[in-house]
Amino acid sequence: MLLLIPKMILPMTVFALMKYFFGITAGVISIAVLGLVGFLLREKIFDIIVKHYKVEKYSTLEAFKNKD
């Protein structure tokens, strides 16, 4: 549940700002553009997440080994 909150805040903020300044059509288009950009960059984003996970995994394992 808590992981979904940051994912919801950015689109809601973008939509609210675009709707406030330019109207509802601009708000909907901005969300569509954000979704398209996210879809196009998903492989690159997953690569970054996997790389970060591997670094953290090995550092966590090393910390447990050195616990004694």
Show the low-confidence residues of the chain (pLDDT under 70): 1-2, 67-68
Q: How many CB atoms lie within 10 A of CB 34?
A: 14
Tell me the torsion sign for CA atoms 5, 56, 62, 66.
Answer: negative
| Averaged pLDDT score across all residues of the chain | 87
pLDDT at 63: 72
Count, residues in the chain:
68
Does residue 26 contact residue 18 with C-beta atoms inside 8 Å? yes
pLDDT at 33: 96
pLDDT at 68: 58
pLDDT at 45: 87
In angstroms, the Cα distances linking 15 to 20, 29, 48, 59 are 8, 9, 27, 39
